[in-house]
Amino acid sequence: MKTTNELIQMKRDSEKITMVTAYDYPSAKQSEAAGLDTILVGDSLGMTVLGYDSTVQVTMDDMIHHAKAVRRGAPDTYTVVDMPFGSYHTSDDEGVGNVLSLYQSSGANAVKLEGIGCVEIIRRAVLAGVPVVAHLGLTPQSVGVTGFKMQAGSLKEAEKLVTDAKKVEEAGACMLVLEAIPADLAEKVTASLSIPTIGIGAGAGTDGQVLVYHDMLQYGSDRLPKFVKAYGDFNSAAAKGLMQYVKEVKSGIFPDAATTYKKRVFEK
């Protein structure tokens, strides 16, 4: 497993950092076997596996439940877990307490928080010994305010994001996720920080990339955001398999001799 310092070293060595989300045992196991540098137990699980229309409904218990399953599937991959909506905005004390408790109960290697409102929580959590990943640009927990669209498109907003990125680095964040921002801005932020940036919808100039498992492998999700490339198609594989199964049970093809226990317990 990579350490936080090794991930920071990868930036210095210009070696790209790979990250994918995982929410359960099989996706974690596949990600570890495929050699991903890092896994994110994203609160996107609210949409991808729980069927909510945003990440806002996701709870601490949801995050712990899924992170533990991921840990069992990928015990040797650096794993980041998201702080859910509402768990770090009421007060710094409560926020820090929740970061510590999520870190402790999930078994993750780092905890991720969205936005610039949590700089003090980052500072205190890092002082307490928790590696913290920051997340700027489009922050899905705020889509009710921002909408699901590219952020920081004006010079003023872009300059603010550069400043904010400096602030989270200064507070002690060990990585920064940049979501849905112009590529030249992501490049500028990346060049101005000594911690790695992980981009999603932020172009090729970041130190690493992250994609949502269910999007990149087309598993349950069918409308992909502009910045997602499909690397697989679980939807068609599942549809094909399930329809064939129905057909074969209805027509008596399944189960066949090969899938049936042959031992006889009754006299003929």
Listed in sequence order, the residues at least 6 apart from 193 whose beta carbon sits closer than 8 Å to its beta carbon are: 165, 166, 169, 176
Site string for ligand KIV, 47-76 (x = CB under 6 A): ------------------------------
From the list ligand KIV, Na ion, none, partner contacted by residue 73 (C-beta under 5 to 8 A by kind): none
Q: Which backbone phi and psi does 39 adopt, to 5 degrees? A: -120, 140
Among candidate residues 6, 179, 187, 267, the one labeled active-site is 179
**82 lies in the binding site for ligand KIV (CB under 6 A):** yes
CB of 43 to ligand KIV, least distance (A): 5
Annotation: binding site for 3-methyl-2-oxobutanoate: 43-44, 82, 112
Q: Which helix (H) or strand (E) holds 178?
A: strand 175-179
| Strand pairing category for 110-114 and 78-82 | parallel
**215 lies in the binding site for ligand KIV (CB under 6 A):** no
CB of 46 to Na ion, least distance (A): 9
**18 lies in the binding site for ligand KIV (CB under 6 A):** no
**42 lies in the binding site for Na ion (CB under 5 A):** yes
Where does this chain touch ligand KIV (CB under 6 A) — which range of 38-46, 97-105, 188-196, 232-240?
A: 38-46
**106 lies in the binding site for ligand KIV (CB under 6 A):** no
**177 lies in the binding site for ligand KIV (CB under 6 A):** yes
Contact call for residues 192 and 177 (beta carbons, < 8 A): no
From the list ligand KIV, Na ion, none, partner contacted by residue 210 (C-beta under 5 to 8 A by kind): ligand KIV
Listed in sequence order, the residues at least 6 apart from 246 whose beta carbon sits closer than 8 Å to its beta carbon are: none
Does 179 participate in catalysis according to the annotation?
A: yes
Q: Please, is 78 exposed, middle or buried when counting C-beta atoms within 10 Å of its C-beta (0-12, 13-18, 19+)?
A: buried
Residue type, 257: A
CB of 133 to Na ion, least distance (A): 10
Q: Where are the alpha helices (DSSP H) in the chain?
A: 4-12, 25-33, 45-48, 60-73, 92-106, 119-127, 143-146, 155-171, 183-192, 213-216, 234-251
List interacting residues with ligand KIV (CB under 6 A): 21, 40, 42-44, 82, 177, 179, 200, 210, 212
Residues known to be catalytic? 179
